[in-house]
Amino acid sequence: MPDSYIQAYNPSHDKYFYDSYLPRLAKNYESFSTFFYTIYSIFMVFSVLSIIISLIAMAQSGIFGFLNITFVAINFFIIVWISNLLRDFFKIQYEKTVHENKTMVSFRESTMEKSNEILFKAQSRADSIVNTLTIGGSVSGIVQIGSGHSANQVRTQSDENDIRNSLALLIAYCEQSNNPTASQAAIEFREEASKDSPSQNVLLTLWTRMVAALPIVAQIVGITGGIMKLLTT
């Protein structure tokens, strides 16, 4: 049986994350952090000066001068406080983004490694299944496409071989994945496909159920190639 591979994982995605996205995100965060820290520092200095000026004004101008300068000082303190909050907020968001993306990359790598292990075992199992499969509905003919349209529908011997190989790998992969829902759907899919006139609606429903239970099967080229031929011919 020909080798299959999983389409989903592309190492260049992780390279982009580590070599491009993450450095640019860090630079962006540092720029915001520097901006807010500068505002924080400037207004902190002004706040201290305001307190000093308030004390001088109180001595020279009485209570009104003191209240006026105190009001200005309070405004400075509020700006300092908000700037500090914004700086902390950007820091939290940056750390959260980095953590989520690193976790996603790590999970994808571990998931792909496990999927490849299952796929390797499934290929061996599929070799013993493929010769036991019977695919019905292989007669060429006219099929309806929409309303008032028709087209010749031909399934070649090559198509038959691709379908059997894909179906065998699908059944084996569902078995090896220890996913009861997907395994049961695969069994029903095999039974329907072996009928003289298999229902494409039933096959599509079962395929959708398998993909919902085990999404990775829709990303394995060795499975999707033949299954798509079965669903469309």
CB–CB of 152/142 below 8 Å? yes
Q: How far apart are CA 209 and CA 178, in angstroms?
A: 15
Q: Give residues with Cβ within 8 angstroms of 133, minimum separation 6.
A: 164, 167, 168, 190, 193, 194
Q: Summarize pLDDT for 149-163 with one digit per residue, the tens.
A: 344 456 677 788 888
CB–CB of 214/111 below 8 Å? no
Q: How far apart are CA 174 and CA 186, in angstroms?
A: 7
Query: In whole numbers, what is the pLDDT of the chain averaged over residues?
Result: 75
Q: How far apart are CA 116 and CA 123, in angstroms?
A: 10
pTM of the model as a whole: 0.53
CA dist 12 → 4, 8, 43, 108, 109 (Å): 20, 12, 45, 13, 12
Q: What is the per-residue pLDDT for 63?
A: 67
Q: What is the per-residue pLDDT for 54?
A: 67
Q: Summarize pLDDT for 5-56 with one digit per residue, the tens.
A: 444 445 555 666 677 777 877 777 777 777 777 777 777 777 777 767 666 7
Of 202 and 3, more confident: 202
Q: What is the per-residue pLDDT for 140?
A: 40
CB–CB of 207/227 below 8 Å? yes
pLDDT at position 207 over 90:
yes
CA dist 176 → 76, 116, 183, 190 (Å): 66, 11, 9, 16
pLDDT at position 173 over 50:
yes
Q: What is the per-residue pLDDT for 139?
A: 38
Of the chain, the percentage scoring pLDDT greater than 70 comes to 73
Q: What is the per-residue pLDDT for 182?
A: 92
Query: Token digits for 22?
Result: 């993450």
Q: Summarize pLDDT for 68-105 with one digit per residue, the tens.
A: 666 766 777 777 777 777 777 777 777 887 777 777 77
- Give the pLDDT band of residue 148 (cuts 50, 70, 90): very low
